[in-house]
Copies of this chain bind each other. A is one copy, B any other.
């Protein structure tokens, strides 16, 4: 089968520590697979027989409880390793991965994992880092859901999405794949109704611009303020909160700058 060109992956952290010949060898063991929008790369609960590296596109990873409640665990962007269940000694995939847009991934047989990490310790380190940062993100999410109001959580979610998959457009920054209010609700632990209401309110404030499965951030700075609970920016609430400056030295830096296009990986 035609080999994947090394240049496509050489600058990914996973391949960083390897020599070109090693990279080629690793690639030779992989298959490239294409997934059309809406199709599942793998389903929660099925045998974890492969692990993947997303080359192009975006995936939505979701978990469903036995009671049928769905939650969006995260979105995968190009360059990320995913489906590494086997590496964590799990025999089955703990979640479902669905292509949010047409996507392409490299797939290795899970059975090779053990052999590969012995041969390429970089791989283990890379996986560990991937899983580690994923753990940090998830913990951050727990804290958010525990301590913040819905409005703040939605703001955080949008900012994170923009950072991870934001595309600059004239109106601001657009999330680079179709995403519904329902999806956002499942990411923030609320209902699509509430998300819709919030986005509507924000839209009339000029903070965002919505559309069907489409969101554009027009004022990332104010959104950031909202996310941090900055009273001064609060949109809807109107309590007699004595405009206490509450400076607190929180930096106002517009770190919400967004990477133009998919070369994620950070």
Contacts and interface: CB of A to CB of B under 8 A. Distances in A.
A4 B73 CA distance: 41
Interface string A3-42: 1110010000000000000000000000111111011110
A256 B124 contact: no
Interface stretch (A62-70, A160-168, A192-200, A203-211): A62-70
Contacts of A35: 255-257
A104 to B, nearest CB: 5
Nearest to A102: B266
A157 interface: no
Given A90-B132, A138-B138, A256-B39, A147 B65 contact: yes
Contacts of A62: 250
A179 interface: no
A141 interface: yes
Given A88-B129, A131-B132, A264-B8, A68 B145 contact: no
A66 B250 contact: yes
Contacts of A135: 88, 131, 134-135, 138
A139 interface: yes
